[in-house]
Structure 1
């Protein structure tokens, strides 16, 4: 069950909670740094995001939806074997009980086999119970036994091959899926850190010693703490979970390889020893095979559970992709339902950009285009045509606005302002016509670059809010990763089934064939002079013992 849980964490908990980090509340003392990104609305390039999202319905307005409801309708062991009808939900122990029921056949077979064959061994070795094969057909029966033994040994060998190939493919595909999930998580971590980095840089922006307002800096600090905590926690959980999952996969792989190798050796050596008639040596292999067959039945049950859990998860993801805003079991992990948090993140980012424009334009209007006197602290002999101000990308309601004809946009501001840069003397005064010195021009460009970075790095962060990012990830998993995983699990199950049945039947045939009558076979191979001596000795022994026993070919005890 631990293997199943960790694998489902691979497909869901790691991906969703790691790639989404949903819903921290920047207003309250109980905010969770892992819950802060996802929101309901699609803001695109920040279009009309704040007012439209503010009225979005919360979780209570969503239509409930049970994921994979038909597929998960199974008997619940914890509820008196009543059918579980709660749909896919990895947080519900009744769901796991219903999934565990799917592997009950393998566990029951393992128990029945272990007890029944164990009793048969006790009866055979301790109570003297024997199977008698009598009559002239014993030679014919021995040949049929040999043929069946070879067939079942081949079946067990084919099962070992299938198991080896299936586990190798499954292991590779599982690690490939894990790598995809980790990449999604790393993308989210990098997005968070990019936004944090550029928000921090915004605090250092100044033009002519004019900085952002102190309250904005405090808001940036609070937001950055949450973003940094979320990114660090996300990164730590990704590393921790991926390491655990790799450990489980490697353990499963080692176990399956060991089982395949032992079963192959057991079946081949058992066949050889039974043909050679080593009765005592074969007993060791019979007991070993008895235990290993029980183990393979248990593994069959475990992999049936694993297969059903993965299939349930894939179906749940597929249904969620079609209904991303419905209230489902994924809502506990993926709550794309927090417009207030969305608005706060969007508002803070836009507010920082607006404040940077204020700082820049305060310099442009008051200093660069102000024509101050020589006694003014920021006089540097500025002259010439007035310098165009920077365009406000948002209006007073922080909605997108078009730039005016006399404004320069963030995209071309540095190029336009370069035409208003003068050459300076060693004292820092302009010696040519211009409105800004190279020093102030660099400060203006740094401010514009900060705005540009926020405009381009915040939207990927905000794109997580409308669930498109996670929807695409789930869609890729269901289309590209789930079918191979389920296919290779079926191959593993087929291999385990062939091994179990093949070795099980081989155990019975070993006992029969190893104890077959061999005296006639040996007698036929002897030289002609020895045959007469053995025949004379055989009949003299019978007369002296006054025993009416039949000839060697008449009966055999096993």
Structure 2
């Protein structure tokens, strides 16, 4: 056992899992990037990249363009009315004409109220689901960081144990822990940056929709009051305010469509990884950490299993050899001579699977070795005859180094579940599986409902604004009774 050098160089394989260059999921479509002179953005899903956000936001250009056209048309129409005046000839329409206009305005106000309510519901739902989704993935990244830190602590203990006896392995472990420390900093930076970016985007969408819908509901209620009071100046003010609200509504339509695209990109990235399990072609995993694929992680864990398996096999062989030389059983005792073997929690080749429950009942557990070894160690000044009679066959000169290796293996086995979790990217895979299987469908549905509702409301407000103009034209110069639908002269003619 004293000649055995613990081959912890295999730990370097672990750090290689965190040093690949990040790659991103190929975007399902090519997008113009306004931050790069409208050149096509093909970087894929990367929420840390401002060009991704710019290209995704540009997908809502139809809403922004409609808002611009509507505003320009409104400015032109308003300028024309101010220059020419609103003095068209009075036409004597039947009372049914006024009633139809009144009914249509009432109908479109009702539609606006209904879809404003839907926007409030969808807005709250999409915020909640997007926060849940982001918290899931960021929580997995934080758990991964904590696991790496736990493994680092185990490696530091091993390094301290082996430093007096094996400087090469000790220095190797020092380099490994430094690399892992850099990885924890990288993950922490990602979580902070991505969380801030996503929170800003989610809050911007939520607040913009909430403020707009609140203002719109106030205007709609005010419009109902003006409609029944027949206050002509109110119709002019209402038309201007509705024109502005309609412009904002179309801007939000483009903004919410961008949010809809972002939701689709996010879920597509999760679902792609869930189906392919290949981090090299997926932005989700490469952003958080360059986790290995299945074959790489299996080889890495098999290497650790082989390390411990080989050490325990050599230890069992050397203990048996030392005991045989020290005790030297005679012919009568050959059959009864037996040394308990150290429990090997790993199966044999080729996989070296971790199976701690498969040890024999009388096998020595790794954590029991220090206390057992102390009872079998022959102290330096004790005569060999006394040690032989007491069954103390292990020389004290080997005790310190052997204990260091035993405790190192014990720490390595204790850290094995965490190593296995990291090598297989288990926290992230579980989080992604949960998102892809359970969260994406309702998340997409809530965001789609938000976009569809704001689009419908924008169309409704556009038509309603035109009816406010018609109603203002009807009201000019005419006298109505309170809550009536037709002017007094029409009522008298009837």
Q: TM-score, normalised to structure 2's length? A: 0.71
Structure number with higher helix proportion? 2
Please, which of 478, 485, 497 is the counterpart of residue 436 of structure 2? 478
Give RMSD over aligned pairs: 5.4
Please, which of 158, 171, 184 is the counterpart of residue 140 of structure 2? 184
Deviation at 1:228, TM superposition (A): 1.4
Alignment partners' CA distance in 1, 2:482 and 2:427: 80
Q: Deviations over 1:70-94 (max 9, x none)?
A: xx26788899999x79695559999
Contact 2:17 2:291 in 1 (8 A): no
Please, which of 194, 203, 222 is the counterpart of residue 159 of structure 2? 203
- Within a 5 Å distance, the mapping from 1:253-402 to structure 2 comes to 253-325=206-278, 328=281, 330=283, 333=287, 353=308, 388=340, 390=342, 400=352
**Is 1:502 the counterpart of 2:460 in the alignment?**
yes
Partner of 1:171: 127
Instruction: Name stretches of at least 5 consecutive residues in structure 1 with no aligned partner.
Output: 1-24, 28-32, 40-57, 373-384, 526-550
**Is 1:516 the counterpart of 2:475 in the alignment?**
yes
Match of 1:513, SS state, is helix
Instruction: Name stretches of at least 5 consecutive residues in structure 2 with no aligned partner.
Output: 1-10, 328-336
Alignment partners' CA distance in 1, 2:282 and 2:310: 41
Contact 1:200 1:224 in 2 (8 A): yes
Please, which of 449, 452, 455 is the counterpart of residue 491 of structure 1? 449
Q: Deviations over 1:331-375 (max 9, x none)?
A: 975766799997997699569758986997899689999869xxx
Match of 1:37, SS state, is coil
Partner of 1:22: none
Deviation at 1:502, TM superposition (A): 2.9
Partner of 1:147: 103
Match of 2:170, SS state, is helix
Deviation at 1:516, TM superposition (A): 1.7
Partner of 1:161: 117
Match of 1:476, SS state, is helix
Match of 2:106, SS state, is helix
Alignment partners' CA distance in 1, 2:362 and 2:167: 26
- Within a 5 Å distance, the mapping from 1:91-240 to structure 2 comes to 99=56, 102-130=59-87, 132=89, 134-137=91-94, 139-205=95-161, 212-240=165-193
- Within a 5 Å distance, the mapping from 1:439-454 to structure 2 comes to 446-447=407-408, 449-454=410-415
Partner of 1:37: 18
Alignment partners' CA distance in 2, 1:106 and 1:259: 15
Match of 1:134, SS state, is coil
Contact 2:32 2:38 in 1 (8 A): yes
Contact 1:191 1:457 in 2 (8 A): yes
Deviation at 1:213, TM superposition (A): 0.8
Between Structure 1 and Structure 2, how many residues are aligned? 451
Alignment partners' CA distance in 2, 1:212 and 1:345: 26
